[in-house]
Amino acid sequence: MALADLEIIYRYRQNYGLPTDIGLSDIERHKELEAELTSKLLNSTPENRWQVFDRCYTSLYASLPWLNKADTGQREARYNAWAALLKMPSTIFEVGSGKGHLLRHLAALGHHCVATEITTERGEKHLRNVAGMEWRITDGVNLAKFEQKETYDAVISSQVIEHFHPDDVHCHFENVRLILKPEGKYIFDTPHIGAGPHDLSKVFGLERPAFMHLREYDYRDLGKIAKSTGFREIQAVLFYESGRFTIGPLSSHLLFSYYSFVDHVIAVLRLSPRQERTVRRYLRFALVPGNIWLVAQK
């Protein structure tokens, strides 16, 4: 097998946390299917989007069952960091719960949690009969059509909004705000475009996301979206955990301003994607993360 093929296999297994029984033919199968599904997602219309997204994600996880076995969960220290951003006890609605690792942790702490996914192929198989949790299907966007307004203390999502159709992101934020109680919070994280790509594109060494991360964002993008949809304050979260020490979670508007300023400076420099990734590796020493984590206050 060629060295380049071995590198692709290694990156794929690392990216998805998969065992050694996944080979090149599986990866090529994934690539072909996801390219096809990405085109369908991007070409969907507002009228048929939920149906198209449901079919595409059902097809992805039914055709590539190892993705449901992938170890993409977070470590317990990071789950505790999410919990530290929430008041006790909270009523929490999660958009795109996946296998439910985070909500299981929060429910065990005494929060009442509602888990959601767009397809039963992804979520329901993993989230049945968990104490403190309810399971529901939603499109992830028009949340106020599924839930009563001003119901939740917090809405959360982790590694989700990059999967939305770009035309739906404003609507998603508007609906999150509608189902939050007064003073409620939308707490979410998503990959930073400048440190990516973070989808299947990463495995093949592409410069920008070309698969089912339909758009990756920076701090400025998300700040504008949150403000334009009525959130009154945006805070960035700093969390760093290693074997020796932990920083955070710290959340503040000053952090958000700092990270947005870094985005602005890099944009002015007009770096190539490869150059920006290199710069951002060094910026980690200045506590600039490659993953965006924000708290939007209603």
- Give me the tens of pLDDT residue by residue for the chain, a chain 298 residues long: 676 788 999 999 988 888 778 899 999 999 999 999 999 999 999 999 999 999 999 999 999 988 877 765 568 889 999 999 999 999 999 999 988 889 999 999 999 999 998 877 666 665 566 778 888 889 999 999 999 999 999 999 999 999 999 999 999 999 999 999 999 999 999 999 999 999 999 999 999 999 999 999 999 999 999 999 999 999 999 998 877 788 889 999 999 999 999 999 999 999 999 999 999 999 999 999 999 999 999 9
Closest to 66 (Cα-Cα) out of 27, 10, 115: 27
247 alpha carbon, distance to own chain's centre: 22
Assess contact for 140 and 146: CB atoms under 8 A.
no
How far apart CA 82 and CA 94 sit, in angstroms, is 12
Q: What is the DSSP letter of 292?
A: E
pTM above threshold 0.75:
yes
Domains of the chain, start order: 3-68 (no CATH), 76-297 (3.40.50.150)
Q: What is the DSSP letter of 73?
A: P
> Strand runs (DSSP E) across the chain, as ranges?
91-94, 112-117, 133-137, 152-158, 180-191, 233-241, 246-252, 291-297
Query: Which residues partner with 236 through β-bridges?
Result: 252, 294
Closest to 238 (Cα-Cα) out of 218, 258, 220, 217: 258
